Amino acid sequence: MTVELISVGTELLMGNIVNTNSRYLSRKCAELGFSLYLQITVGDNEGRLCEMMKAALSRADIIILTGGLGPTQDDMTKEAVAKVLNRELIMDEASRERISSFFKFRYGQNAVPPVITENNWKQALRINGCIVVENDNGTAPGYIVETEGKTVILLPGPPSEMVPMFAQHIFPYLKKKQEKVFVSKMVKICGVGESRAETILIDLIEGQSNPTIAPYAKDGEVHFRITAAADNEEDAEKLLNPMVEELYKRFGDNIYTTDEEESLEQVVVKLLQEKNYTVTTAESCTGGLLTGRLVNVSGASDVLREGFITYANEAKMKYLGVSSDTLKAYGAVSEQTASEMAKGAAEVACTEVALAITGIAGPDGGTIEKPVGLVYIACSVKGHITVQEFRFMGTRQRVREQSVIYALDLLRRSLL
């Protein structure tokens, strides 16, 4: 099955809003085993949207449109689709009642002045012959239109409405259209660059058929989605598992999870919980980003005791006990300082584990000996300290973010 995504909205086209809907829908289509042919963003222009719809119908089996289902004049997705399919728009009384109930619930039975304006009823119009999809998080319903072997799906634009609607109603509907059962696993790797990771797997990638391997590069990480197709889930798993095992043979501890929803920080928190260890952080150039990543994890309070942001040398000495002699002899950005930061943080917070970062994020402050992007990361586990030197490239923010990823990975490897 071939799918095309059409995102509607001038605010998307102009870059005022980040299009997270396409990312979500692309992943879900891949999960269903559908082939994504094209993604298009079109502004609030009925003529252009009609052109895009006609072209999409000539190429794809399923067209998914997001946005343009609101009550205002520039919301014209439904109207454009109805025009292209030569279908009427008719009042859907169930949708009208749901919209009325929505406003009464939000504003009360006797809201004054009346909060339901006439243009709200525009959202109760449906394309003749379509399936209306209820919206539990807003006033704009979704729609499924089946026509001449094609399927057109219209979804609201706000992600808070689109995502639950797709998950609850559209995904189960599309799953029935699968010709095969597809099972996927995401193998997540840290500490190996994209080009090296591909080189390690080049024979598998070039020879792939079923299962397939698709690489995804992220900052400091490489993800491989392995997908197997079969007549049933059990047979798909039998095809999938040997390939996952082969990746473990080739990448070993560089693989930190095969759970698509699990993040690097979640893995780290889980390891700390399993070992009954507590951790403290000592950050200079990252200024709290590392601690923030750990705090993102539910259950981090079980393991995270304290976090120190010691940006100035005085703070490194005052809170972490870094020696003034060390700072004078080697500087704030050095293996020695990073080591003392980790040692001091563990001692002050009385934790089994400490993680420290010091570096030059730029764009200023670099020298020939210590260029922008030079970062030292130290990890102390039960008094044993490991320090690694990194040379990151990119903007100030990217250097900081890369530092956090590699710090989490160093902690993960140290715990293993």
Calpha distance 355→308 (Å, rounded): 10
Inter-axis angle of helices 233-251 and 194-206, to 10 degrees?
A: 130
pLDDT band of 112, cuts 50, 70, 90? very low
Cβ(314)–Cβ(332) under 8 Å?
A: no
pLDDT exceeding 90 applies to what percent of the chain?
80
Q: What is the pLDDT of residue 106?
A: 67
Residue-wise pLDDT tens digits, 368-377 = 999 999 999 9
110 has a pLDDT exceeding 70: no
Q: What is the pLDDT of residue 153?
A: 98
Residue-wise pLDDT tens digits, 333-368 = 999 999 999 999 999 999 999 999 999 999 999 999
b or e along 98-121 (b: 16 or more beta carbons within 10 Å of the residue's beta carbon)? bbeebbeeeeeeeeeeeebeeebe
Q: What is the pLDDT of residue 102?
A: 77
Displacement of CA 159 from its chain's centroid (Å) = 13
Instruction: Write out the H or E segment, with its range, that includes residue 338.
Output: helix 335-349
- For the full predicted model, state whether its pTM sits above 0.85: no
Calpha distance 227→211 (Å, rounded): 5
Taking all residues of the chain, what is their mean pLDDT, rounded to a whole number? 93
Q: What is the pLDDT of residue 107?
A: 67
Calpha distance 326→58 (Å, rounded): 69
Q: What is the pLDDT of residue 193?
A: 87
Residue of 73 and 223 predicted with greater confidence: 223
pLDDT band of 205, cuts 50, 70, 90? confident
pLDDT band of 194, cuts 50, 70, 90? confident
Calpha distance 291→308 (Å, rounded): 9
Q: Which residue has the tokens 């690097």?
A: 264
Q: What is the pLDDT of residue 121?
A: 87
- Rounded mean pLDDT, 174-191: 90
- Residues across the chain: 416
Residue of 19 and 103 predicted with greater confidence: 19
Nearest to 73 by CA among 16, 40, 118: 118
pLDDT band of 104, cuts 50, 70, 90? confident
Q: What is the pLDDT of residue 99?
A: 82
Residue-wise pLDDT tens digits, 243-293 = 999 999 999 999 999 998 999 999 999 999 999 999 999 999 999 999 999
Cβ(67)–Cβ(15) under 8 Å?
A: no
Residue-wise pLDDT tens digits, 35-80 = 899 999 999 999 999 999 999 999 999 999 999 998 888 899 999 9
Paired sense of beta strands 150-155 and 142-147, if any:
antiparallel
| 3-state class (DSSP) for residue 75 | coil
Q: What is the pLDDT of residue 98?
A: 85
Residue-wise pLDDT tens digits, 224-252 = 999 999 988 899 999 999 999 999 999 99
Nearest to 313 by CA among 303, 305, 321: 321
Planar angle of CA 52, 55, 57, nearest 5 degrees = 105
Calpha distance 288→276 (Å, rounded): 24
Calpha distance 220→197 (Å, rounded): 12
Q: Which domains does the chain have, with CATH numbers?
A: 2-175 (3.40.980.10), 181-257 (3.30.70.2860), 264-415 (3.90.950.20)
306 has a pLDDT exceeding 50: yes
- Rounded mean pLDDT, 323-334: 98
pLDDT band of 118, cuts 50, 70, 90? confident
Calpha distance 104→277 (Å, rounded): 52
Paired sense of beta strands 353-359 and 279-283, if any:
parallel
pLDDT band of 111, cuts 50, 70, 90? low
- Rounded mean pLDDT, 155-169: 96
Residue-wise pLDDT tens digits, 374-401 = 999 999 999 999 999 999 999 999 999 9
